[in-house]
Amino acid sequence: MRYIRIPLYIMTFFLFLLTGFLTLYYGKETFHFDQKESIEAEAVNKEPKLHFVLIPEELENDYWRLVEQGARDAAKFHHVHLEYLGPKQANNDEHLKTIDMAIAGLVDGVITQGVAEPDFNTLVTKAKEKLIPVVTIDTDAPESDRAAYVGTDNYYSGFLAGKALLNDTKGEQKVAIITGRHEAPHQKLRVQGFKDAVAIEKRIEVVAVEESNITEIGAVEAAHRILQQHPKLTAFYGTSALDGIGIAKVVKNQKAEDDLYIIGFDILPETLQYIEEGTIEATVVQFPYQMGYEAVEKLIMLNNGEKLDPLQHTDTKVIHKEDLPISPASMNGGMQP
């Protein structure tokens, strides 16, 4: 009996060791699995460290939706909480109220189109006093306490439009300008840049400057009025995204595509379609997606205490039919979402 018990003791000992080893091994694997799940859950549930607000000129404008997309992609990449708030239609009073609400909410940064009003400057100073950096986008407000401007050099873009008209036409030209809003600083700069560019040649005469209120129907109505008042008109320049589209609709309806040169602004799908068919000859390309993306990144840098050049100009160029098609990467200013 004693000789039988010895093997049993040995077998029991080895079973004990095997059980202990398996317990340690699977316990270790279970710990690592649980730890991994915990880390992943923490990443998913992690609260964003920064909260920014993007305030456009108007919410549903196609151009500003491209700005928003760029900002949202940057916010997602950098794990920032971004809100998109503002007036449904261009309205300075509502715009300023939204900025004031963002400041009252103690956000970590505001991205906003600059507004040419003293109250805007007062609000930006108020934000600065509360350590909330403000980045202007699309339209600058250099006289304010904004930390930086991200967007097109609007005077330069207007100058490019004027140079394009000079290069694309011959002989005397009577030109009409349709601009988004007369009082908007960026629209003024685009008009002035254009005028300065064409002023070097006496064959170019600007015969009218009218307002569209940054709506397509406004551009259509302005184009109709101008053509009635100036039947010998030879060219149009539209300074905001919907101006060229509105002008093209009027010109096409009157079957005057071969008689009137049109240069527009931005690359909305309808603008590109009119260029492809030859109704619009050229358009000034700015990169709203790039603006939105870079504005978020600049605010992050400012929150980290970094110093920035106050002027952060994004890309600008003029395209013609031969430059089509435009790739998504090109429309993003070469940035990948």
Q: Which long-range contacts (CB under 8 A, 24 or more apart) does 191-195 make?
A: 191/158, 191/239, 192/155, 192/158, 193/154, 193/155, 193/156, 193/157, 193/158, 193/159, 193/160, 193/161, 193/162, 194/158, 194/159, 194/161, 194/162, 194/165, 194/237, 194/239, 195/158, 195/162
Inside any domain, residue 170: yes
Residue at 133 is within a domain: yes
In 3D, which of 286, 282, 280 has the Cα closest to residue 266?
A: 286
Per-10-residue mean pLDDT of the chain, 337 residues long, equals 50 52 42 34 60 95 92 97 95 96 97 95 98 96 97 96 98 97 92 97 97 95 97 97 96 90 93 96 94 98 96 95 77 54
Task: Please answer whether residues 337 and 291 qualify as being in contact, where contact means their C-beta atoms are separated by less than 8 angstroms.
Answer: no
Per-residue pLDDT, 26: 42
Is 327 domain-assigned?
no
Task: Judge if 142 and 223 occupy the same domain.
Answer: no
- Answer yes or no: do 103 and 211 share one domain: no
Residue 31 in any domain: the answer is no
Number of domains in the chain: 2
Q: Which two tokens stand for residue 30?
A: 């279970």
163 and 280 part of one domain: yes
Mark whether 142 and 237 lie in a shared domain: no
170 with 277, same domain: the answer is yes
Based on the fold, state whether residues 248 and 265 are members of the same structural domain.
Answer: yes
Is residue 24 domain-resident?
no
User: Same structural domain for residues 226 and 144?
Assistant: no
**Predicted local distance difference test score (pLDDT) of residue 35:** 35
Residue 144 is predicted with a pLDDT of 97
Domain that holds residue 93: 51-152+288-314
Q: Are residues 225 and 309 in the same domain?
A: no
Residue type (1 letter), 5: R
pLDDT attached to residue 42: 35
CATH number assigned to the domain comprising residue 94: 3.40.50.2300
* pLDDT number for residue 47: 72
Does a structural domain hold residue 332? Answer: no
Predicted confidence at residue 331, as pLDDT, reads 58
* Pair 148, 234 in one domain: no
**Quick one: pLDDT at residue 10?**
54
Q: Do both 197 and 230 map to the same domain?
A: yes
Q: Using only C-alpha atoms, what is the Rg of the chain?
A: 30
Q: What is the pLDDT of residue 22?
A: 45
Query: What pLDDT, on the 0 to 100 scale, is given for residue 48?
Result: 79
Q: Tell me whether residue 35 is in a domain.
A: no
Does some domain include residue 334?
no
- Is residue 169 domain-shared with residue 192, that is, in the same domain? yes
- Residues 308 and 222 placed together within one structural domain of the fold: no
